[in-house]
Chains A and B, each alone.
Chain A
């Protein structure tokens, strides 16, 4: 055990010194990273912010526009502005001209002006298409009600009955349009994080960061081989060497997971804590696999370059930078094949359902032959 502690100390001193030499740069990165986390914490609660300005102050207009706006309230943050701003904020600004509601009631074209202000291209397009869809509702109601009115004329109803029938269909149609969200029976699926929320990016980036850390840590093994070549001339056994490395890996993984736990708390994310031991276990197993792969490389530079390049490709297809629902349909089959995606799904499920004990045992059992494999490789190569 003394030898194991000695080896661990030696490794920690060497790595600690490396980091200490870069303390100011490291501090700088921590500050930038904190900034990014804080930015994520203050992410707006709504997807869109829409401002509107109503030039028409009449009661009828206010009522009609209030109803139109209230239909959007479930999906966007809506605010009324009292003046047309010189430099408007939000994602869109709608300007209703004076007389808009009255003309609309009589199916006369007197368009409201809509300015799409968001610079995010996909949201830009979605907002444009949505307003076009709202316009199509108005046009559909115009054509159906106009044709219906012609039928009322054909029936030659007395004026009172004509008006009653017209009012009934108009009110029905307005109620349907304004309450269109009620057409859906909404069913939320579990508590999995949505693809565009901060928790999704928390999970995807925490896995990406963990895998990157694993590549870095396992690449250090190549350097260690050279450094510890002479160690085996002393009384240190290959098991002691392996256990020291394993303990250090567990320590590193635990520190990483604890940092993530802290970030989750700062960001106000709430999910099952079973995610963290799950992630730690996954990273430990991956570290063991990556350590075995180092035997194919003589230089840590080659190893890191190839490792990170492969990680980037897998991460891209696995939905780190762009959610999978944004990728073309034909790519879904390829996405399924990427280990990153499978790991991501596995871990997000742990975050929802909690850590499954039998799954944990399977991962632990799978770690055992990997530990043995690592030991055999150390023995065989003797690191010389």
Chain B
């Protein structure tokens, strides 16, 4: 044990040398990671859809008032909307042209709104369908009005205005009485899985920000990985002194343990600092995941130091592994 500590003390003087210059980056990393954790877990995780309002009507308003956890409806003008769409800032652009309500009132049901999206975007038609479904109450309202007008014009013209008021009131009353679950009972858990999923996990599923969590996990783990590599590389540079260290009576496991301590110290500091925002924003499960990834990276680095012969290849190989990890995890999640 004494030998390990001795070796660790010798190494840390070499490895952490010049650390002050990098400390600024370390602080930046911690700040960025904390900021992203807070920001993403709480707010992000939605897709943007631009809406251009060329008419002012309850129908047009309904587009802006769509309540969704995952779709941000943003009003914009045509020029900005189209350029934003071309620059990947939104998934789709919906234009509510002047006279859209009139068209529905006159019985038209085709090509009322304009929908723009990038070629091949599979999400956009789905979002558009979701949005049009949400404003259908307004569309039915207009269509119902038309039918009612025709009905009264046919049978009792003079009573139309008066009956329209009571009819609309009645529609509003009926709508108010209806609650979700009337036609669809939606569940996120397949009955067979109910017993197998522990309560904690099913609670996690209900939480928001899973996709964002993946993004922040990739980024935070990546930045942490780079810093581990930095220290790993410094350890690798000192390998030419190994023969002399062995002659001094140190074994390879002394070196391995001291290397592990060298890599562990900045990790512990980083995770202690990250614990504060994680605790504040109730993202402890996320913090644990990050910690696990950090420990895996640490073990990977220790192995790599012993495998790699050339330090020039150390960085590309390690980043290559990391990149492939991202590609595979994204691929797996996207395909699920």
Contacts and interface: CB of A to CB of B under 8 A. Distances in A.
Contact of A187 (B114, B122, B151): B114
A363 interface: no
B122 to A, nearest CB: 4
B191 to A, nearest CB: 8
A150 B167 CA distance: 8
Contacts of A148: 144, 147-148, 151, 167
Nearest to B156: A155
Interface in B267-318: 307-313, 315-317
A109 B167 CA distance: 23
Interface string A187-216: 111111111110111000100110010001
A129 B71 CA distance: 10
A205 B327 CA distance: 9
A72 B188 CA distance: 20
Contacts of B94: 184
A43 B128 CA distance: 23
A159 interface: no
A360 interface: no
Contacts of B126: 47-48, 75-76, 126, 130
B129 A312 contact: no
A63 interface: no
Contacts of B134: 133, 136
A194 B74 contact: no
Contacts of B218: 321
B82 interface: yes
Most buried by A among B148, B163, B320: B320
A183 B132 contact: yes
Contact of A193 (B69, B118, B237): B118
B112 A329 contact: no
A183 B133 contact: no
B324 A33 contact: yes
Given A186-B115, A328-B44, A322 B122 contact: no
Contacts of A192: 86, 118-119
A126 B314 CA distance: 42
A184 B91 contact: no
Contact of A143 (B70, B74, B171, B321): B171
Contact of B210 (A15, A121, A126): A121
B133 A144 contact: no
Nearest to A310: B25
B130 A129 contact: yes
A160 interface: no
B319 interface: yes
A114 interface: yes
Given A189-B85, A197-B120, A111 B183 contact: yes
B231 to A, nearest CB: 10
Interface in A1-26: 15, 18-19, 21-22, 25-26
A309 B29 contact: yes
Given A22-B310, A134-B184, A151-B167, A197 B121 contact: yes
B334 A139 contact: no
A115 interface: yes
A122 B45 contact: yes
Nearest to A104: B183
B211 A122 contact: yes
A245 B317 CA distance: 23
Q: Is the interface of A mostly helix, strand, loop or mixed?
A: helix
B50 to A, nearest CB: 10
Contact of A116 (B85, B186, B315): B186
Contacts of A220: 312
A108 B163 CA distance: 26
B10 interface: no
Given A132-B184, A193-B118, A173 B143 contact: yes
Contacts, number: 370
B133 A134 contact: yes
A129 B119 contact: no
Contacts of A173: 140, 143
A147 B171 contact: yes
B242 interface: no
B203 interface: no
B250 interface: no
B222 interface: yes
Contacts of A47: 122-123, 126
A151 B163 contact: yes
A112 B219 contact: no
B331 interface: yes
Interface stretch (A174-182, A234-242, A374-382): A174-182
Contacts of B223: 309, 312-313
Contact of A332 (B68, B89, B121, B227): B89
A212 B319 contact: yes
B16 interface: no
B189 to A, nearest CB: 8
Interface string B45-89: 111100000000000000000001111101000000010111111
B240 interface: no
Contacts of B20: none
The 8 A-B pairs at the shortest CB distance, nearest first, are namely A121-B210, A194-B121, A133-B133, A143-B174, A140-B137, A185-B111, A47-B122, A184-B115
Given A121-B210, A139-B183, A176-B139, 19 more contacts: A112-B184, A122-B46, A130-B133, A133-B133, A137-B136, A140-B175, A144-B140, A148-B147, A151-B148, A172-B147, A181-B129, A181-B132, A182-B109, A185-B113, A191-B120, A301-B233, A302-B21, A305-B22, A328-B43
Interface of B: 18, 21-22, 25, 29, 32, 39, 43-48, 68-72, 74, 82, 84-91, 94, 109-130, 132-134, 136-137, 139-141, 143-144, 147-148, 151, 155-156, 163, 167, 170-171, 174-175, 178, 180-190, 192, 208-212, 215, 218-219, 222-223, 226-227, 229-230, 233-234, 237, 307-313, 315-317, 319-321, 323-324, 326-328, 330-336
26 contacts: A18-B313, A22-B317, A29-B320, A32-B324, A33-B327, A36-B331, A115-B188, A122-B46, A125-B69, A128-B186, A129-B70, A139-B178, A144-B140, A146-B174, A154-B163, A180-B136, A181-B129, A186-B125, A189-B119, A197-B121, A205-B323, A319-B88, A321-B215, A322-B212, A329-B48, A345-B88
